[in-house]
Structure 1
Amino acid sequence: MEALQNLRGLDKILVPVRLTGKSKFVFQCNPGVPCFKLCCSDLFLPLTPYDIIRIRDKLGLTTDEFLLQYTEPFILPKSGLPIARLKMSENEEKTCPFLGDGGCNIYEVRPLACRYYPLGFGLFRNKDERRNEEIYYLVKEGFCQGLDSGEEMTVDEYRESQGIPELEKPIVEWAEIIMKKESLGPISVPEKSIQLFFMVSTNPERFRSFVFESKFLDMFEVDEKTLEEIKEDDLKLLQFGFKWLKTVLFGENLIKRRKESPAVKKVKPF
């Protein structure tokens, strides 16, 4: 423990330098680093829709069981949209519920936010070039000695080593929904829209029931191939759900509406 006595303070510092995929930094995290596991306590740890599916399956739980036991809802301040975040243990250190003596007990399905550390990530819309741009930055915490040693690597190399690209690809449209809502500024979000976004983002089982057991298919045209896919495949269901959210929240014509009767009320878009 002697190596921990001379650590810098516990402040979290966001280094105000924009990094690209080719930017280089030094970092390592393993049991040999004196601060190992100290970053796994008192976290704000957002879960992506794909995180929820992967961790739920690893634990052998239903989505409802996982959400109730391990998560809590949180409203993103810029977008006003609700997501699930990991609920810390009720101990003095407020440790991650999956932290064990040897490190992370669900390491192979650890959340995207954990894989990124010590990098921060942002997505914004370049209106001039009509494309999304990714930005990265370093997060320095007072106890972390991993940034003082280790192998030099680029941001892209680090992302590949952590399996990040393959986990980001299925949720790109989800991130775009959040980004687009943020770009609209502080407008009021209809309660129904909030509920729909949270359902699709956190609970594929409930969304599947909504699609097949409500009047959903009376309102939207869905081809037979897609219906067969989303009956069984949660990841396919996510992709479908994101397109549907873009349709009902932003008026994008990604899921075609049927000719509606006057009795069917549309969801008010943002």
Structure 2
Amino acid sequence: MNDIKKSNTNKMERMDADHVFQFSCSPGLTCFTQCCQDVTIVLTPYDVLRMKNGLGITADEFLDKYTLILSKEKRLIPLVLLKMGDQDKKCPLVTEKGCSIYEDRPWPCRMFPLDVNDDGTFRIIADRTRCLGLSSSEKWPISEWLIDQGIAIYEQMNDLFAQVTTPLQATDLDIDNPKIYQMTFMALYNLDKFREFVFKSSFLDKFEVDQTTVEKIKRSDIELLKFSFEWVKFGIFGQKTFAVRQRPEATSPSA
């Protein structure tokens, strides 16, 4: 799961969804937007989709201007990080008034000051000595915080993404074809190009895709991203998420 990684003095906490914590964030706090500086934010495909749409730019433009892509030998899917400023290490999307794409901010920024433990419990990752919002009198049951921050769709899409990444972590794939790397990255992180691949190539002639699905992925970026996850599972793991169209048998000429 993507994360904001920042050193702090908090011990590991394990809070369930009913736990109540105190937090409020607003421009009136002297620490406002400091949490958006010198952090490592890993972006998922859904984060990239929402952010590039929020900015009104193409996936190519977003990936080039706002991300760092860290590849590792024999790692099929690279890490995609939000690029911080070279000098001040600040998020380039943050202004004095706050996040310029607040409605489309990524999962870690929505969760803050919380993060999720491996067992599904929660912990506070904000530094209590720096985050004045934790001293607020405003109280939040974690379950209500998740609803307020619009976490549900992010969790849904991240769970689907995990169906791709988790098997990769457990499997030692020996892939040396750069085209496979390029295709996988395009399908996951560049929906603009993946859409062209599906609708402007011979894709729909080669694979059986029912008309209902075709209409869904034409209209909805979310449905197209789900479709791309299924495509990667088919291409990399050989899962039967797609069926190849049977070519009609050639008829022999009459005697």
Alignment of 1:1-270 (within 5 A): 11-13=7-9, 15-75=11-71, 81-90=77-86, 92-121=87-116, 134-141=120-127, 142-182=129-169, 184=170, 187-188=172-173, 190-191=175-176, 192-258=179-245
Q: Which amino acid aligns with 2:213?
A: T
Aligned to 1:3: none
Aligned to 2:251: none
The alpha-carbon distance between structure 1 residues 82 and 223, as it changes in their structure 2 partners (threshold 3 A), is same
How many residues of Structure 1 are paired with residues of Structure 2 in the alignment? 238
CA contact (8 A) 2:16 2:122 kept: yes
Q: Which amino acid aligns with 1:199?
A: M
Q: 5+ unaligned residues in a row in structure 1: which ranges?
A: 1-9, 124-132, 261-270
Alpha-carbon deviation of 1:189?
5.5
SS in 2 for 1:29: coil
SS in 1 for 2:126: strand
More strand by proportion, 1 or 2?
Answer: 1
Alpha-carbon deviation of 1:72?
1.9
The alpha-carbon distance between structure 1 residues 76 and 150, as it changes in their structure 2 partners (threshold 3 A), is farther
Distance, in Å, in 2 between the alignment partners of 1:45 and 1:76 is 18
Distance, in Å, in 1 between the alignment partners of 2:97 and 2:31 is 13
Deviates more, 1:36-45 or 1:138-147: 138-147
Alpha-carbon deviation of 1:54?
2.3
TM-score (norm 1): 0.76
Distance, in Å, in 2 between the alignment partners of 1:213 and 1:13 is 53
Q: 5+ unaligned residues in a row in structure 2: which ranges?
A: 1-5, 248-255
CA contact (8 A) 2:14 2:123 kept: yes
The alpha-carbon distance between structure 1 residues 179 and 153, as it changes in their structure 2 partners (threshold 3 A), is farther
Deviates more, 1:98-107 or 1:149-158: 149-158
CA contact (8 A) 1:83 1:201 kept: no
Q: Which amino acid aligns with 2:230?
A: K
The percent of aligned pairs where both chains have the same amino acid is: 37
CA contact (8 A) 1:82 1:197 kept: no
TM-score (norm 2): 0.80
Distance, in Å, in 1 between the alignment partners of 2:156 and 2:18 is 20
CA contact (8 A) 2:14 2:117 kept: no
Distance, in Å, in 1 between the alignment partners of 2:212 and 2:66 is 34
CA contact (8 A) 1:41 1:96 kept: yes
CA contact (8 A) 1:219 1:257 kept: yes
Alpha-carbon deviation of 1:25?
2.2
The alpha-carbon distance between structure 1 residues 189 and 114, as it changes in their structure 2 partners (threshold 3 A), is farther
